[in-house]
Amino acid sequence: MHPKAVEAVAGLLTGPANASSPHRSGKNARDLLDNFRKRCAACLEVAPREILFTSGGTESNNLALQGSLKWLKRTRRWLYRDGYPHTLVSCIEHSSVEKTFGMIEEAGYRAAKLPVGSGGVLDMGAARAQLDARTALVSAMLGNNEFGAIQPIAELAEAAREAQRECIVHTDAVQCVGKIPVRPGELGVDLLSLSAHKFGGPPGVGLLWIGSRVGVDALFGGGKQQGGIRPGTENIPGIAGMTVALEEAVGSLAESAAGIAALRDELQAGILALDVGAVINAPDAPRLPHVLSVTFPSMRAETLMMLLDREGIRVSPGSACSTGNPNPSPALLALGLTEEQARCTLRFSFGAGNDSAQVEKTLEVLARIVRKPAGSRIR
């Protein structure tokens, strides 16, 4: 967490009342929420009324996808005259999107996959071929969380509207705030998901931007908080921390992104210099500055992760939300990696607390691990 976000959370842990309460303290809490909503909106260059506070990226994605289809069914029934409309999702999504589309498909919708090329970027020719007048919903992440490729979301949104002017377009931008500019208006999307812990805010809080062109219906019953779309008492301390972190991330974007990209490139060059057959994934794609995906063909990712962890170096085979899943990453398989290659792939990621000395240490440890004789490696 950013130090200023920590201060913002701590300052409200014992302070605000329930924002739905009718007394003066409740009004003060509502005023706080209104202030935080305006500040978050200013960072994204959107209207405050379009900001919905959530518990994080997973909830934002579920609300965006399931909630928008509920709204569409309730308000645009003409789309349902010939059966359920089509939905499209990219093949490299986070599990919170991928599994939600699985639920959508079980409910009777057609949920087709948008492919990526070997470079990790959406194949727009294939996407246009799948878009048609019955396409009701399209979702593709802005920046991939495993190998960092930035996707052509604005082009996809334009193509979707050309095929069906009422089509709803959603993007999961969780990995992107503070790393690249994130402005819904420039992307041309209708729904955009964020999670505070990815840009220095507290865990367990996020937001969903809902453009004025579309709506989202609630997924569960409750009170009238946030227009009834997301009922439940608002997490004011968490929202305060997210707001401050978002302002800091957006305000320091150019400088912080350049510094983090330099660390990524330093580590990438050092790994290739080890001359152990390591392969950088999606190296030619426009990439998020803080994500580096590397396949070490001689060692399983879990083994490397464990050995690096012993040295105080924290890496992961992929998304934290997929931990414990024995199957190889669908996103890596979509890149064209074999199952064995996918199981030998590590993700290195960077933040404001990292420096060149840590990169040097990582390279030193990697050199000791990956250069050991094959028989001495733990598998």
Domains along the chain?
Answer: 3-251 (3.40.640.10), 253-370 (3.90.1150.10)
Q: What pLDDT is recorded for position 321?
A: 53
Give the pLDDT of residue 373. 46
Tokens describing residue 20: 């739905």
For 88, the enclosing helix (H) or strand (E) is strand 86-90
Q: How far is CA 3 from the centre of its chain?
A: 23
What integer pLDDT is reported at residue 378 of this predicted model?
Answer: 33
| Tokens 């899943």 sit on residue | 325
Asked if 204 and 183 touch (Cβ cutoff 8 Å), the reply is no
CB 245 within 8 A of CB 207: no
* The residue count for the chain: 379
pTM of this structure: 0.92
Q: How far is CA 164 from the centre of its chain?
A: 26
At residue 213, the pLDDT reads: 93
Give pLDDT, residue 376.
34
Catalytic pick among 91, 167, 176, 321? 321
Report residues of the chain scoring pLDDT below 50: 373-379
pLDDT of residue 107: 83
Rama region for 120: left / alpha / beta (φ>0; ψ in -120 to 50; rest): left
H/E stretch holding 307 reads helix 301-310
Has 43 been annotated as catalytic? no
